[in-house]
Structure formats: structure tokens, C-alpha cells
A = this chain, B = another copy of it.
């Protein structure tokens, strides 16, 4: 954990990471994708045996396994999941979009039709760890959007089972199709389909480097949520913030993995020192101290800023996944924030509150992508279609503009599509006038 000045921070350069062929990783990911495309379930079984060290003839979670999971989880876990589900549903309900239309003179109607995606696949990391919270955060917005077919895929444990907490969370969220498949092979199965796994149109959910890279490759053939990088927290604190809270929150971010970034920006040098002392004190008692130490050593920073204006400038530069404003007037501070995945206001809104229970999504843009990406939401599970209706009268009135623009672009068949209708109407008018004259 280092203490930096504003100037020192601003002079460090950020790296880019996407635009390169990563020889080793990409070669194996592309091979896995090709194999799954060609051999389907067979390829999945052999990769599962290779990577997850278990041979599964049937990799669909059975009703019995769901029932068994229910017996294995505690009632306090179930209570917590139910509360989380309720809060997540309440919040995401507000994100639902309506189709709309406007009308103009002469029978013109223009609109936007909102339609749920038909089939979505959710990837949930597995193996040793279990993330029931990720199940809720990915599934509930999709359900609210009205997605018809929703499946989960997650790597099996070495005994061929899925963690019971994940199964119960899935059941609570209303998903009953779960495949015991992980890694790039899961992404390929969802993107292209196999005998067992139906092809989806969008893949969401976090994963390791293989999963992330496979998502980058299948992107275009299917939609993906985002390519998740390491997790970050940025805490802006003034002298009013309790150093023990800040330390605890930085530590909670650091335990995710060694690449996670825990950053505090403060206007108080005294606070900076107290935070360091608190971190040392609290870290000693934490289970994942090894990961925490490595993470803080490489990516932990306390930046001392002249004032809050300075601090917010740094925040907008970092575009952190999580931002906590632990300052006297956090709500006012929020107005100055342009780039952040989620903004937590005040001393009693720590990041884990958002990870598990508050309601907003915990799938957030990482690695500075909050500058251009949004939290996962109901809007990620719908698509829009434009609607255009013109009457004959309205089209004819604007026909010359269209013909002019089409000809300017050298697209004369476009002009012809309008001209045909114009000529036809002229002919009808003449026909009508002729008939009128005849009957005079």
C-alpha cells in the first residue's frame, strides 16, 4: 500500500490490453471453440474431464440434485437469498422499458418496439468457489426483461456436483436448466449449440481468462455482456470518515484476487496514515490475508488530494467499478462524478452491501470501462426495433428529398424505389383526371 500525491498519480500511465493476439491463450481458446462446434457434447465431456477432472455422461443438473441442494443449505442462507432476491427485483423493476410511438401529420407513425431476447445463457464461475449472489444478479434482470429461455452453465466440482448454494439461488431465481460445464467450452456451447445445449443469443456472467477471451471471440455471433477484468474500489474520504471503515472496505476489495485494486483518495494526510494503521490491524485477522497482502502491495494506493475537486478529477480518470463517497456531503459529491460503475454514498453504504443485498446490480464495468459501460441491467436483455409508417401522401411530400440524397450517394436504385411510387401516383392522378374529364 503506497501513499501518492495527485501529481504522482496523474503521471502514471494506464495500459491497454485488448488489441493483441495472445498467442498461447487465443490458440487454445479458439481450438476449444472449434472442437465444441464440431463435436458438440463429445467435446464438452472430454474438456470437462481434462479441466474439471470429472467424467460426466450426463451434464444436466437433475431434479434430484436440486432437491438434495435444498436439504444442504441453511435456513439463514435461504432467508438472505430471499431478501436479496426481493431487493434486486424491486430495483431492476424500475429499469423496464416500454415500447413507444409518436404520430405526426399525414398518417406518419414512428416508434420503437422493445422485445425481450429469446434465449440467454448465464455463466457462473465454480469449482472451489461458489457465487450464489452472481446467480441472482444475472438471472433476475433477464427474467424481468421477459427472456423466454434462460440457462446457467457452471463448472462442476471434482465430485461432479454443483455447489448447493448456487443451485438453490438458481431455483429461487426461477432457472431450472443448469449445465455442469465451465471454461471456454461452456461459452462455445452457448454460442453455437450442441446436442444438449441450445444455442443462445446472448451470454452474460463473469469468468476466468479463458471465459473472458472466449467471450471476446464469439462476440458478434452472439451478444455478450462485457469482458470483465479485475475488480476495483475507489474510496473518496475527507477527515469526517472513520479510518476503520475505510480500511475494512479496502481490504474487502483486496481479497478478491491479487489483481484487484483498492484505492483511497483523501483530502486528509492524517486520515491516510490512520488508514494504513487500521489496515495492518484488521488484515492480521482475515482468512485471505495472503491474497490481500499481494493485492495491496501491487495495486493498493492512497492518494492525497488537495481538495475534493482534485479527488473527483482522479475518480473520473480511474473510472472505478465501485466508488464510495465517505465525505460530509456525499450526495452533492455524486453530481461531479462522470465515470463510475456504482456510487456508494456515505459511511454506511459499503461495497459489500451492493454486492449482496441493496438491489442494484453487482455486475459492473471494470478496468476503467465505466467510462463507456453500464452496470448489467434489464436493458441488457431486450433489443429494440424501429417502426416506420408513412402514408402515401406523406411519402410523396418528402419524395424529392429522398431522391436527392440517394442520388448524392450514388445509390440510384434507392432513388428508383421512391420514383416508382411517385410515377404510380402520377399515373393514377392522370388516370383519375382523364376519367373525370370523360365523365364531364
Residues of B with C-beta under 8 A to A41: none
Top 3 closest pairs, chain A to chain B, by CB: A360-B386, A18-B220, A374-B384
Residues of B with C-beta under 8 A to A110: 91, 358-360
CA distance A16 to B345 in the complex (A): 45
A249 within 8 A of B: yes
CA distance A44 to B380 in the complex (A): 36
Instruction: Select from chain B the residue with minimum beta-carbon distance to A27.
Output: B21
Over the window 119-132 of chain A, the binary record of Cβ atoms lying under 8 Å from chain B Cβ atoms (1 yes, 0 no) is 00000000001111
CA distance A146 to B376 in the complex (A): 22
Residues of B with C-beta under 8 A to A351: 414, 417
CA distance A217 to B352 in the complex (A): 34
Q: How far is the CB of A357 from chain B (nearest CB, A)?
A: 5
Given contacts A248-B413, A286-B412, A409-B130, contact A352 B113 (CB under 8 A): no
A309 within 8 A of B: no
Instruction: Select from chain B the residue with minimum beta-carbon distance to A412.
Output: B287
Given contacts A219-B219, A417-B249, contact A371 B383 (CB under 8 A): yes
A276 within 8 A of B: no
A404 within 8 A of B: yes
Residues of B with C-beta under 8 A to A63: none
Residues of B with C-beta under 8 A to A409: 129-133
Q: Which of B19, B34, B218, B221 contacts A191 (CB 8 A)?
A: B19
Q: Can you give 24 A-B contacts (C-beta < 8 A)? A: A16-B192, A19-B188, A21-B26, A21-B30, A77-B404, A219-B219, A223-B372, A223-B373, A242-B424, A248-B413, A282-B416, A288-B412, A330-B389, A340-B385, A342-B385, A342-B387, A346-B391, A347-B421, A352-B418, A357-B402, A370-B385, A371-B383, A374-B384, A379-B379
Residues of B with C-beta under 8 A to A80: 400-402, 404-405
Given contacts A16-B221, A402-B352, contact A337 B385 (CB under 8 A): yes
Residues of B with C-beta under 8 A to A165: 408
A79 within 8 A of B: yes
Residues of B with C-beta under 8 A to A51: none
How many chain A residues sit at the interface, stated as a range, is 35 or more
Over the window 62-101 of chain A, the binary record of Cβ atoms lying under 8 Å from chain B Cβ atoms (1 yes, 0 no) is 0000000000000011011101100000110011000010
Residue contact B338 to A115, C-beta cutoff 8 Å? yes
State which of A170-178, A250-258, A264-272 sits at the interface with chain B: A250-258
Instruction: Select from chain B the residue with minimum beta-carbon distance to A375.
Output: B386
CA distance A98 to B364 in the complex (A): 20
Q: Which of B30, B37, B405 contacts A133 (CB 8 A)?
A: B405
CA distance A112 to B360 in the complex (A): 9
CA distance A204 to B389 in the complex (A): 27
Given contacts A357-B398, A360-B386, contact A220 B417 (CB under 8 A): no
CA distance A343 to B256 in the complex (A): 46
A411 within 8 A of B: yes
Q: How far is the CB of A211 from chain B (nearest CB, A)?
A: 14
Q: Which of B287, B388, B424 contacts A345 (CB 8 A)?
A: B388
Residue contact B117 to A371, C-beta cutoff 8 Å? yes
A394 within 8 A of B: yes
Given contacts A21-B26, A252-B411, A411-B255, contact A417 B223 (CB under 8 A): no
